[in-house]
Amino acid sequence: MCVGDARAEGRGEPQEPGGDAGEHGSMPSGGLILPGGKVDPQALRRAWEESSDDDALGRVRLELSRELDTRLDKYLTSRIPFMSRSQLQRLIDSGAATVNGRTARSATRLHKGDVIEIDLPPPPAKEIQPEEIALDVLFEDEHVIVLNKQADIIVHPARSELRGTMINALAWRFQHVSGGGLSRVGTEFARPGVVHRLDRHTTGCIVFAKDDEAHWKLGAQFEHRTVAKHYLAVVQGRVEPDYDVIELPIGPHPSRLKGYREKFVVRHDELGKPSTTVVRVRERYWRPLRRCGTPVTPGAGPGEWYSLIELDLKTGRTHQIRVHMSHLGWPIVGDDMYGGRPYLHGRGEVIMGRQALHAATLAFDHPVLGGRLSVTAPLPRDMAALVADLRGSGVEAVNVPGAIRLDGLGL
């Protein structure tokens, strides 16, 4: 959804202090640009809710009619009241903004005549509606709660999905089960208590803060990379060597067309951010195309390799594991966005139709009480069934120093 191609002249309209007389803005029916050039968050929210395309973005177009000589991020902070400067910087650096048709950076200088276009998320709904949704609690006290996230649920309200999230489920739990609540940090963006996130179809350990002190201290641990996060994934192909450190920069896909703008890629330019993933191979499997009940020599005859790998994230880029593995030719099973295929049983039954990626363990210093807290999330049924089926043809076990124990995960 584009917010409209018609343009409204800002000249002669009332200007707020610091407004840019002569600024132009794209407007849909009813208008997205207020007098003075600011984006109207209520109008943008209505445009999102009335759109029939859930994956569409709200595009705002601004044309400068006076000399400003300022940075893009600073200018947009004054125009978009429901987003902070740091949020806008992340949005710009993800490739969502252009100046005169070219992908821009936060530090891009603006001048008279420049045309800015930026794809905006909707202003968040501030009221979280409690919903009775089952949660798998791994640990909880008065300061933090750690959950085993299930597949096909998002962490917090976003875009047009305002219900059915983990935040909605937590709001209900605190009202009816355990008491307490989430930290107020991020409340204005419908993300109270959210310290980190997992993708919709990724399962496993995720921690939420129940008070502000815990939130800030946990956030500092993630920022300084003292949180230990270990993932398990099943990928297509024979991953080698047994131990590797992947250091490839990740940035937004260069295309902003639907189907591509949500993706990230390895890119060696100013939009690529340093990204480091440690890979340990745990098991390799040779899956023959035909199973006849007799021993099969791995790699002999028609078939394909799969690998169970453990991943230790040293940075936290969006889709980092998925991008790194796909780029190297080992896409995650079921990850259709990055080239992975669903895994089918020999009878044609789908065993794994989503990305086979699980946040297996999470360890951090308790933000209030001190001491190291470590939690483990058992593998979900579909991923455990995938591993069991692959093991049926034989296993090439790999012993790598520093690896987590698999028996605690139900393997």
Domains 137-219 and 227-409 share a fold: yes
- Residue in 93, 199, 312, 389 annotated catalytic: 199
In angstroms, the CA 328 to CA 123 distance is 37
Q: Which two tokens stand for residue 189?
A: 């963006």
Could you read off the pLDDT of 219-278 as tens digits, one per residue? 899 988 999 999 999 999 999 999 999 999 999 998 877 778 889 999 999 889 999 999
Q: Which residues pair with 245 in a beta bridge?
A: 278
Q: Write the CB contacts of 219 (distance below 8 Å, at least 6 apart in sequence).
A: 185, 195
Mean pLDDT of the region 307-336: 96
Burial class (CB within 10 angstroms; exposed 0-12, middle 13-18, buried 19+) of 39:
buried
CA 303 to mean position of chain CA atoms = 33
The tokens 């034989």 sit on which residue?
394
In angstroms, the CA 58 to CA 26 distance is 11
Among 167, 172, 197, which Cα is nearest to 183's? 167
The DSSP output letter for 224 is T
In angstroms, the CA 149 to CA 259 distance is 26
Is residue 199 annotated as part of the catalytic site, yes or no?
Answer: yes
The tokens 């990305």 sit on which residue?
355
Average per-residue pLDDT in the chain?
82
Please measure the distance between the N-terminal and C-terminal CA atoms of the chain and give it in whole angstroms.
Answer: 45
In the chain, where the domains are located: 6-120, 137-219, 227-409
Task: Identify the pLDDT of residue 391.
Answer: 94
The three-state (H, E, C) secondary structure of 2-37, written as one string: ECCCEEEECCCCCCCCCCCCCCEEEECCCCCECCCC
In angstroms, the CA 227 to CA 314 distance is 9
Fold of 137-219: Pseudouridine synthase (3.30.2350)
CATH of segment(s) 6-120: 3.10.290.10
Task: Name the pTM for this structure.
Answer: 0.72
Weakest-pLDDT range from 13-27, 183-197, 279-293: 13-27
Mean pLDDT of the region 352-374: 95
Mean pLDDT of the region 93-108: 88
> Among the CATH numbers 3.30.2350.10, 1.20.200.10, 3.60.20.10, 3.30.710.10, which is that of 227-409?
3.30.2350.10
